[in-house]
Copies of this chain bind each other. A is one copy, B any other.
Amino acid sequence: MEVGAFFSSLKNCFKSITRIGTDDPRRVLHSLKVATALTLLSIIYWGRAVYGITRLVMSVMTVVGVFEFSVGGTLCKSVNRICATLIGGALGVAEQHLATALVEIEETVLLLILVFILGAITTFFRFFPKIKAIYDSGVVIFMTTFLLVAFSKHGVEKIFERLLTILIGIITCTLISIFIWPVWAGEDLHILLASNIETLANCLIGFEVNYFDNQIRDKSVLQGYETVLKSEATEESLTNLARWEPAHGFFRPRHPWNQYKKIGAFIKKCASKIESLHDYLNPEIPISSEFKFKIKKPCSRIITELYKALKVISSSTEIMVHPSAAKRHIEKAKAAAEELNFFLETVSLEEAKFLSIIPVGTVAFILEEITQLVEKIYQSIAELSELAEFKNVGEVTVSPEKPHVS
């Protein structure tokens, strides 16, 4: 039995390994890239007695600490590491100059006081969320460089040697990161945005099929809004990293990365509205079928048009074309929402029970709010496409069929 349990847990482990790899095969490539950098540096320092093992270890530390998944991450960490080395080295040299006027015991006290003060300050600064995210590994480098220079009385040439080792490590990482299967944070952010918009479209149409047609659909599609809501942290870190990246492909210098935050905020709001919609799929909530049937037509029209609009926005974002083709779908959705509003204002309610009408009315109400949000998403993407000078030609259309029909 125990052998069986061992094999099943081994199987699970293997499964999660393959899932991590197949979810994004670039992860495997990244691992190979890091391994290549490590091996290259091992070859460089191999057998060179003058550099010795400490240089190799320092290079390995540089690679492991600097080589991030995206180009932006690698560049950000590299700059941070160079700065930490320079500042630590400079402080160490300053301490040496200060110490020349002191006797040994005085210098010891001075050094210990400096260690205490610098230790306290660097630790305290890690509590700043922004510094924590970017400069964390720099603290180690800063402190060790300072200590090496101050304690062991390294001269300026030793500091340059140390800097050179780190630079060789960083250059190796940067070159491999940029030129061998590069992973651009900016591109990932752009694609994430487009795919989030598509997910919203699918969730909306999934809700319609489920609510108005009583068909049960794939739950993973239905709950896509959760993925969208959870992607906030990823989006933020990608935006921060994208700023570090040089122009590449369609992304020119000074690409308006700030606009992505604005669009992302509207997408999040829309996703949380869709989440509220999906709450009303709960079969325990009393629903007046009669009233639902009455509002089905305008609601379906709103959803279908919003679906088309979101699909067009998503695909035109993806290929970097102005989303103007979505405009008429949004207009149609707004017209349908007006119609629904008019119906709700004039409907007579004498025959139905209020308790079972509220939830249906709320669904209609939320759909109207979603219409407004989709228009805001459209406007912010249109702004982006103007700022980033997307192509204006060519219309992106979407097949009028719903994906679940096929």
**Are the CB atoms of A127 and B365 closer together than 8 Å?**
no
A interface majority secondary structure: helix
How many residues of chain A have a CB within 8 Å of chain B?
69
Question: Among the interface residues A46, A117, A144, A347, which one has the most CB atoms of the partner chain B within 10 A?
Answer: A144
A35 to B143, CA, bound (A): 11
The residue in chain B whose Cβ has the minimal distance to the Cβ of A345 is B355
**Copies of this chain:** 2
CB distance from A91 to the nearest CB of B (A): 14
**Are the CB atoms of A116 and B365 closer together than 8 Å?**
no
Q: Which of B56, B122, B272 contacts A151 (CB 8 A)?
A: B56
**Are the CB atoms of B358 and A140 closer together than 8 Å?**
no
Which residues in B have their C-beta under 8 angstroms from that of A152? 53
Asked whether any CB of chain B lies closer than 8 Å to the CB of A103, the reply is no
**Are the CB atoms of B120 and A35 closer together than 8 Å?**
yes
Which residues in B have their C-beta under 8 angstroms from that of A61? 140, 144
Which residues in B have their C-beta under 8 angstroms from that of A65? 140
**Are the CB atoms of A354 and B358 closer together than 8 Å?**
no
**Are the CB atoms of B355 and A341 closer together than 8 Å?**
yes
**Are the CB atoms of B60 and A147 closer together than 8 Å?**
yes
Considering the complex, which residues of chain A in the window 190-231 have a beta carbon less than 8 Å from any beta carbon of chain B? none
Given contact pairs A60-B144, A148-B57, A152-B53, A120 touches B34 in the complex (Cβ within 8 A): yes
Q: Give the 4 A-B residue pairs with the shortest CB-CB distance, closest first.
A: A358-B361, A35-B119, A35-B120, A38-B119
